[in-house]
Amino acid sequence: MEQELGLVGGSIIADVGSGTGILSELFVKRGYTVFAIEPNREMRSTAEELLRNHSNFKSIDATAENTTLPSASVDFITAGQAFHWFDPIKAKFEFLRILEPGGWVLLIWNVRKLSTGLMSEYDTLVNEFADRQFAYRTTKDRIGEAGLRSFLGQYREKRFENRQVFDLEGLQGRLLSSSYVPLPGEERFEAMIVELRRIFNSFQKEGLVHFDYETEVYYSQLQD
């Protein structure tokens, strides 16, 4: 996709709703300048620690609707597992403001592949402990084709196989990066972590587990 989108070494990316820096890290390590827009202090701090040694990573306490970036200052805008947080009307206005003419917007979701035992049991855990109403709100299926088209206009889409490898600490971090699960100190948090550890121990090999996804990317050159 880099050739198709015209990503080059000097490209500037606004990663909006950047969370703990999972997507930002991929771009930063490929040499792009990334402005990570994240209003949640805890998630933002995690990303800042993760990428503290990279001068091309810029962490910003801001929102999709008010990024604080200058007009026409970025070449690309990405949103990984974050679009559900946005007010789509206000965010589109802001994206049009900060994008260079001809810039691209990419909305990205990782969809768990439930064909493996690990992913099936992890999905069961999420369904048991998550705020179900909120978890549904975060899915691409809720947004639907009409919602994507309303925001992106005539968009393109691609799908990729994607595998993440976690140790126990990384798996717990992955779970807690989901905005709809209990956090430390909240009811049912400890029970959730006990079940997560059981799942990890059931499937780990040499202290690692494999998370298999299909990554869905929806992208366009945003128009008024």
User: Average of pLDDT values for 184-208?
Assistant: 93
Q: How far is CA 15 from CA 58, 77, 138, in A?
A: 10, 6, 17
Q: Give backbone dihedrals phi and psi of 82, rounded to 5 degrees, phi first.
A: -135, -10
Nearest 10 degrees: Cα torsion 152, 20, 23, 109 = -50
pLDDT tens readout for residues 105-148: 999 988 888 888 899 999 899 888 877 544 444 556 667 788 89
Sign of CA dihedral 50, 55, 57, 58: positive
pLDDT tens-digit readout, 5-24: 877 878 999 999 998 898 99
State the pairing for strand pair 12-16/33-37.
Answer: parallel
Identity of the amino acid at 60: I
Which amino acid type is present at position 129?
F
The pLDDT of residue 139: 57
Query: 196-215 b/e with 16+ CB inside 10 Å = b?
Result: beebbeebbeeeebebbbee
Tokens at 115, concatenated:
């064909």
Q: How far, in Å, CA of 30 to CA of 172, rounded?
A: 26
Domain range 2-112+132-164+213-221, CATH architecture: 3-Layer(aba) Sandwich (3.40)
Check residues 100 and 8 and name the one with the higher pLDDT: 100
Q: Would you say residue 185 has pLDDT above 90?
A: no
Predicted TM-score (pTM) of the model is 0.82
Dihedral Cα 42, 134, 108, 184, nearest 10 deg: 30
